[in-house]
Amino acid sequence: MTKSQMENMSSARVRLTADEARELSRQSLAGLGYTPVESQVLAEHMLDAAFCGYEYSGLPKILNVAEQLERRPAPTPMRVIHETPVSARLHGGGQNGMLTLHRASEIAIEKAVAGGFAVVGVNHTWMSGRGSYYVEMLANAGLIGIHTVSSRPQVAPPGGARAAIGTNPISFGFPTEGAPFVIDLGTSALMFTDLALRARRGETLPEGVAIDANGEPTQDPILASMGAVLPFGGHKGFALGLAMQALGILAGSGDDNEERAGYLIIAIRPDLMVPLNEYRRTLSETLARIKATPLQPGVESIRLPSERSQQERERNQRTGIVIDRQVQVALQRLARGNNEHARSLI
């Protein structure tokens, strides 16, 4: 396909209802060989991203899953390496991260509900999806959730000419009187998925967010993708990323190998400290007070983390989502068990 043909296809957009999107997702994942339960877990994760307005973490991501499956050795079952009443360390068996982290979250919930606290780690897994999804699971179970990732080197230290730590996001989920309060932040100035998207769209990067393969500052996303991105907020963002790196060791991270990336989940039952209802009420009041901060001229409102995505989710669950026609075609092919062209259509 030529570039202009592809652009024409991209410009064709189709709207799917929530049910249609769910059905297409599940069937295409089943076509890739996932069991009905696995297909459901994976589909719900990516659907949720689509509902929240993260289009490329939504249905198109199933095509990335297909591509990875072609590249990677056949996975083995996830297994427990070490376990205590309040902890578990899991070997992901090379399974998709949206499956392993979902299971890790379930284990963290079980253990923390029973014992007040849990720490669960996974390594040997890939493509874990959105961290906010897991901490939201925890918060929906009445727990405070913290999720950190120590991923493969993509971020250069301030003054460094090579990547040395991962984009290392940290996510938090807190129970409130309404929807969970969810915070999800990468410690890099730019996520690698943003970089790929900007490269595809021919957009320039902001100044001071990336270096090329020679360690020189660059605003070219293609050169940056061969180099490294920088931490957000200079030394402070780097320090935070280092903390995730150190926490990742609990989850079996520790070398440059991507499969050794460490995914950690910490769950705390608030009533170790204050009654859950009091916690929910106080946090809701605190957030309402912060939201009501007087505004600078020209500012419409104080934006709290996850507020926009939760509003979009509510709307999109009703109205459905829009995807590229070519993505729909590729997923329909996968659903028929035809993986042949998935890769070329990404």
d(CA 231, CA 240): 9
79 binds a copy of itself (CB under 8 A): no
Stretch that binds a copy of itself, among 31-39, 69-77, 92-100, 151-159 (CB under 8 A): 151-159
Residue whose CB is less far from a copy of itself, 199 or 304: 304
Q: Which helix (H) or strand (E) holds 267?
A: strand 262-268
Among 211, 224, 265, 330, binds a copy of itself (CB under 8 A): 211
Structure token pair of residue 163:
């990547």
Residue whose CB is less far from a copy of itself, 69 or 243: 243
Residue whose CB is less far from a copy of itself, 3 or 289: 289
43 binds a copy of itself (CB under 8 A): no
Contact indicator for 207, 199 with CB cutoff of 8 Å: no
How many residues bind a copy of itself (CB under 8 A)? The answer is 71
CB of 104 to a copy of itself, least distance (A): 12
Structure token pair of residue 167:
């984009």
Residues 231-270 that bind a copy of itself (CB under 8 A): 232-237, 239-240, 242-243, 245-247, 249-252, 254, 256, 266, 268, 270
Stretch that binds a copy of itself, among 14-22, 62-70, 94-102, 299-307 (CB under 8 A): 299-307
CB of 75 to a copy of itself, least distance (A): 22
Stretch that binds a copy of itself, among 2-10, 197-205, 290-298, 327-335 (CB under 8 A): 290-298
Q: Is 182 helix (H, G, I), strand (E, B) or coil?
A: strand
CB of 259 to a copy of itself, least distance (A): 15
Structure token pair of residue 213:
């393969």
Residue whose CB is less far from a copy of itself, 75 or 157: 157
Contact indicator for 139, 180 with CB cutoff of 8 Å: yes
CB of 214 to a copy of itself, least distance (A): 10
d(CA 343, CA 346): 6
Q: Which of 98, 120, 100 lies closest to 109, judged by CA?
A: 120
Q: Is 93 helix (H, G, I), strand (E, B) or coil?
A: strand
CA atoms within 13 A of residue 232's CA, in its CB half-sphere: 13
d(CA 195, CA 189): 11
Residue whose CB is less far from a copy of itself, 61 or 89: 89
- The alpha carbons of the chain give a radius of gyration, in whole angstroms, of 21
d(CA 199, CA 220): 8
Q: Which residues does residue 184 pair with via DSSP β-bridges, in sequence order?
A: 171
Among 5, 10, 84, 204, binds a copy of itself (CB under 8 A): 84
CB of 46 to a copy of itself, least distance (A): 23
Among 53, 93, 94, 116, binds a copy of itself (CB under 8 A): 116
